[in-house]
A = this chain, B = another copy of it.
Amino acid sequence: MPMAIARVEESVELLKALADPTRLQMVGVLKRSSEPVCICDFTASFELSQPTISHHMARLKNVGLVEVSRSGIWAYYRLKSNLDQRTRALLEALV
């Protein structure tokens, strides 16, 4: 039974979102953290500009890997809670 085209495209989008050193490490941080992580923490630990960090996080959000909660002027990100089993297995193999 060949892979359905729709599922291929969906998997590819997920893979492209993870296929960047910065984003893969961001996901790693979020996966290991028990609490949501502030964007300011990422801008502090990666040697990249703030717009770049924001851009990467937006890509992770667009593929449904992370979700955001705002508190005042801060934005806290965490891995989405209801990731499907396949995605969780993939992260488990990666991070």
Contacts and interface: CB of A to CB of B under 8 A. Distances in A.
A18 interface: yes
Interface in A45-95: 86-87, 89-90, 92-95
Contacts of A94: 11, 15, 86, 90
A18 to B, nearest CB: 5
Contacts of A25: 2-3, 8
Contact of A19 (B12, B86, B87, B92): B12
A60 to B, nearest CB: 13
B15 A19 contact: yes
Given A92-B89, A93-B93, A12 B3 contact: no
